[in-house]
Amino acid sequence: MKTQAYQTKIADLFAHYHVSASGLSKEEAARRLEASGPNALPAAKVDSYLKIFARQFASPLIYVLIAAGVIVLLMGEYIDASAVFIVLLFNAVVGAFQEGKAQNTLLALNKFTTTEATVIRSGRELIIPSEEVVLGDIVLLRDGDKVPADVRLFETTNLRINESALTGESTPVLKNEETLAGDDLPPAEQVNLAFKGTLIIAGTGRGLVVGTGLETAVGRISAKLGSLEADVPLKANIKAISRVIIIGVVFINLFLFVVGLLYGNSFIDMFKTVVAVSVALIPEGLPVVITLVLAAGVWRMGKRQALVKRLQAVEALGQAKVIAVDKTGTITKNELMVQSLFTNGQSFDITGDGYSPDGEIRLAGQVLDPPAHPELVLAGRIATFCASAHVAYSPETELWQVAGDPTEAALLVFGQKTGFHREALVAENPSVGEIPFTSDLKYHSTLHRLADGRHFFTQVGAPEIIINRAKYIFRDGERHKITASDKKDLHQQMKAMSARGLRVLAFGYHDEAGPTLTEDDLPELTLVGLFGMSDVIRQEAKEALHRARAAGIKVVMITGDHADTARAIAAEVGLFRPGDEIITGADLETWDDATLDQKLSQTSVFARVTPEHKLRIIDAYRRRKEIIAMTGDGVNDALSLVAADLGVAMGRVGTEVAKEAADIILLDDNFGSIVSAVEEGRNIYQTIKKVVLYLFSTSIAEVLVIIGAILLGWPLPLAASQIIWLNVITDSFLVVALAVDPKDGTLLAKPFVKPNRWFFDSLMIVRTVVMTTVMTVGSLLAFWYYLPDALVPTAGQLAYASTIVLSVLVFYQWMNIWNCRSEDRSIFKMKIWENKYLLFAAILVIGLQLAAIYLPPFQTFLRTVPLSIFDWLLVILISLSIIIVEEIRKLFARKLNT
């Protein structure tokens, strides 16, 4: 009964809810409230900062690092253990701070729906909190009210409701009380229902409450939000690579431990080595560096008016293959504007930006002066008389705000563009009569007394009504008898306007009307022309779409509007092109998943869809393994914003629900900011790739040096403390500096290649093999050169050779960090000051290594000895091999790509 209330006769609903026209009694209402609970959404649980902080450690990689830190601590290596724990703590603090900013979506839904309600109880009007409204209550609805519950209407007077936040349709819905037929009609077509949380912009009505709390349309959306979760790609990749690292560490350590013992190494030495190798293999710098990279991206996006609620959301946006945009609020501004005028046999174009009064009137591309054209003056005058809305600019929000019907607001602004201001015009020509627009009449009429005593009658409304009433037509400054040919021309113009997605209104006048105005005795009408109005397209949308396509991103539009309107808007902005298809909600109701999947590649517009349809569309793209970002501004978008890989909400016109459901909020509502965010996301991904390549190539090289020495029957070339020094101290500074490397300017010039689940692509694997091979061979050669008696070296010889290997690996790291900055660009073509942090970090690393070799406390801790000038020249010469080999590889890579 509740879900199909639009199909049920009102008398049957009264009987079902056991209520009469005088409403429920106070006692019965209290009983129902106690039985069903308040008319509110469940209070959302807000996690404490402590819980958010603890959640930052919920990662397999973090678990292994904690275990390694504990083992190092038990070994008495307090400094090394402290370094590991400081890295983990910093990562958790930054992540918790960023996540703690976000509020719960359900709290926003409560805020959206909190209001007061006027109900009839025991024959009396009462104003009560909306939470106390119960099933069976009779509710009074008036201009400016928020609908307190889902209400089946049984009495309406020109009742128009703005449902854009719920359905996505920008045009106010004219409601009526007629019983409807048809099963499973979407909310946008249930015109005899008023939905909880929507706004009444005109008229009055009465209705019977048929849904409260979670049983309302907005409540059903909120109930689904809690069950939806989408893992961002980076999080999934980190999980995958963590599993690989853990498995690799276990097998390598077992191999090392067994082989080391077989080759005569002591149990204690091998245990320390295994722990050190674990630290070497586990990129303890990775979590903090990823956090820093993401935080830097968030900061840069903030400068571009994009507020990021989750750090990892930025990187995920860089991987987006599809951006699904909501028409209302994203492609368009949700501001109606008169864009076309047909009068005196000519078509005029009107420019402007929504409700702003700035704009021009053009004919064949030439700007006109309206006062010099009588037909424009007359059109502006009629539009102003028939506009009861008010438009005002808010400096706080930097938006034009409307009180009243958006259609009449558009007429008011058009009048301003022709030189009229309603207050002044009405003061000079007082109103003596008015017939407001209603669903039955389909027109708005006014009567004004002119200065010479005549009465000026105006009428604006549905073309089929106005044209049929017209006896004359305005042409060349005079009125002429309207002919069949005139009407044919008008219908052709209407068809052309409708094909452009414009809503068409006809208008006319009579300048010698009687002193009174009644529906039964209207003055004769002289038809002046046609207004064509539509939601204003955002100026930046076309450029943003072009940039998105250049970046290999497909943009699709999802809207609750009719297919013809959606097609016209999409075609105008350049989104819908020849050969594209449109899928409607009706199609989705009849198609199975296989059919939908087959149609996706040819589809650029989804029209007349419900929130449930949006979820199905998102699921279809995700079945194709395509990362999808969804934009939206209304309650109807909340589900899809949560379900998509990335949810992007409009900050200015968006509802609180949409903002809280989203991962990113565009503070300036600029669709172009999404594309800029994609660029930032790609930069973050590229930076993380650089970091991963560097960390893994150096870590694997260290392990291979140890394995190689053991297999050759040599002593261990590195002590456990030296391995930890390489990874925790020298690596950290270089990696952090690499994390803030300048952005590549070609990120949007080519399609993005989605990374595999282990984060490594084929090129990274090749580069890792090349780099680790060079570093391993070079280090082992240095060890062999400085250890003449490799089988039985003295303690002094081993310390000297180990110091050389440690220094070679440090300089390899220093050299390799420059290699990792680009996949194909030579380091000799990179400006050394492009990344001054990297230069400073390299100098710091060299300084630390000199301290490690020449300062007694470090010598004792790291088991190092001083080196000669010749030793340093040899270390530098060996480490330069990593640059030479990588430069050769880059040279071949550039030739292959040309």
Share above pLDDT 90 across residues of the chain, in percent, rounded to a whole number: 35
CA distance 862 to 485: 99
- Give the separation between CA 790 and CA 710, rounded to whole angstroms: 11
Closest CA to 494 of 456, 512, 468: 468
Burial 829-847 (b: 16+ CB within 10 A, else e): eeeeeebeebeebbeebee
In this predicted structure, the answer to whether residue 252 has a pLDDT above a threshold of 90 is no
CA angle 30, 34, 39 (to 5 degrees): 90
**What's the token pair of residue 197?**
């949380």
Q: What is the pLDDT of residue 103?
A: 36
CA torsion sign, 358 to 361 to 366 to 369? negative
Among 228, 238, 230, smallest CA distance to 58 is for: 238
Which residues does the annotation mark as catalytic? 326
For residue 275, what are its two tokens?
Answer: 């722990």
3-state secondary structure of 334: strand
Residue by residue, what is the 3-state secondary structure of 266-313? CHHHHHHHHHHHHHHHCCCHHHHHHHHHHHHHHHHHHHCCEEECCHHH
How far is residue 636's CA from residue 620's CA, in Å, rounded to a whole number?
A: 19
Q: Does 479 have pLDDT greater than 70?
A: yes
State yes or no: pLDDT of 111 exceeds 80: no
Cβ(329)–Cβ(635) below 8 Å:
no
Banded model confidence at residue 461, pLDDT cuts 50, 70, 90: very high
pLDDT value of residue 90: 65
Quick check: 779 and 812 in contact, CB under 8 A?
yes
Token output for 680:
């930032």
CA distance 566 to 499: 11
569 contact partners, CB below 8 Å, separation of at least 6:
327, 331, 332, 501, 534, 535, 537, 557, 561
Number of alpha helices (DSSP H) and beta strands (DSSP E) in the chain: 33, 28
Q: Name the residue type at position 4.
A: Q
Residue 80 CA to residue 252 CA, distance in Å, equals 22
Cα-Cα end-to-end distance for the chain: 68
What are the phi and psi torsion angles at 192 (to 5°)?
-100, 15
Comparison of pLDDT for 893 and 65, the residue scoring more: 893
Q: Which amino acid is at 636?
A: N
pLDDT tens by residue, 309-318? 766 666 667 7
**Adjacent-strand bridge partners of 226:** none
Q: Which of 812, 821, 824, 816 is nearest to 740 (CA)?
A: 821
> Higher model confidence: residue 789 or residue 317?
317
Q: What is the pTM of this model?
A: 0.64
pLDDT confidence bin for 98, thresholds 50/70/90: very low
Interhelix angle 105-113/217-225, nearest 10 degrees: 170
**364 φ, ψ (degrees, to nearest 5):** 55, 35
Query: For the chain, how big is the Rg over CA atoms in Å?
Result: 36
Sign of torsion over alpha carbons 173, 179, 181, 186: positive
DSSP state of 521: B
Give 875's contacts (C-beta < 8 A, 6+ positions apart). Answer: 782, 804, 807, 808, 811, 867
pLDDT for res 109: 40
Weakest-pLDDT range from 341-345, 403-407, 668-672: 668-672
**CB-based contacts of 755, cutoff 8 Å, min separation 6:** 233, 237, 319, 685, 689, 761
28: Cβ–Cβ under 8 A, 6 or more apart, which residues?
none
DSSP string, 635-658: GGGHHHHHHSSEEEEESSSS-HHH
Q: What CA–CA distance (Å, rounded) separates 557 from 701?
A: 49
The answer on pLDDT for 107 being more than 60 is no
Residue 485's alpha-carbon distances to 272, 345, 346, in angstroms, are 98, 12, 15
Which single residue is written with the structure tokens 């109930």? Answer: 223
Mean pLDDT value across residues 92-108: 50
pLDDT at 232 exceeding the cut of 80: no
Q: Alpha carbon 239 to chain centroid distance?
A: 24
> Cα separation of 419 and 801, whole Å?
90
C-alpha distances in angstroms, 623 versus 192, 554, 577, 603? 37, 16, 25, 16
Strand partners, 4: none
Q: Which of 686, 680, 684, 691 is nearest to 737 (CA)?
A: 691
The residue assigned the tokens 């009629």 is 382
Residue linked to tokens 């007694």: 856
**What average pLDDT score do residues 502-509 get?**
94
pLDDT value for 66:
76
Q: Is the pLDDT of residue 178 over 70?
A: yes
What is the token pair recorded at 297? 């991206």
What is the C-alpha separation between 646 and 625, in angstroms, rounded? 14
Q: Which amino acid is at 776?
A: T
Confidence of residue 189 (pLDDT cuts 50, 70, 90): confident
- Alpha-helical regions (H) of 631-726: 638-643, 656-661, 671-711, 720-724
The yes-or-no verdict on residue 774 having pLDDT over 50 is yes
Residue type, 439: S
Quote the mean pLDDT of the chain.
83
Report the distance separating Cα 877 and Cα 450, nearest Å. 97
Q: Which of 623-637, 713-727, 741-755, 839-853 has the lowest mean pLDDT?
A: 741-755
Q: Which of 85, 93, 48 is nearest to 66 (CA)?
A: 85
Model confidence over 332-391: pLDDT tens digits?
887 889 999 999 999 999 999 889 999 999 998 899 999 999 999 999 999 999 998 888
Closest-CA residue to 149 (of 220, 198, 204): 198
Q: Where are the beta strands (DSSP E) in 143-213?
A: 150-162, 173-174, 193-194, 199-211
Tell me, what amino acid is at 103? Answer: Q
DSSP-derived 3-state class of residue 339: strand
Residue given tokens 């240095």 in the structure block: 782
- Among 233-237, 502-506, 729-733, where is mean pLDDT lowest? 233-237
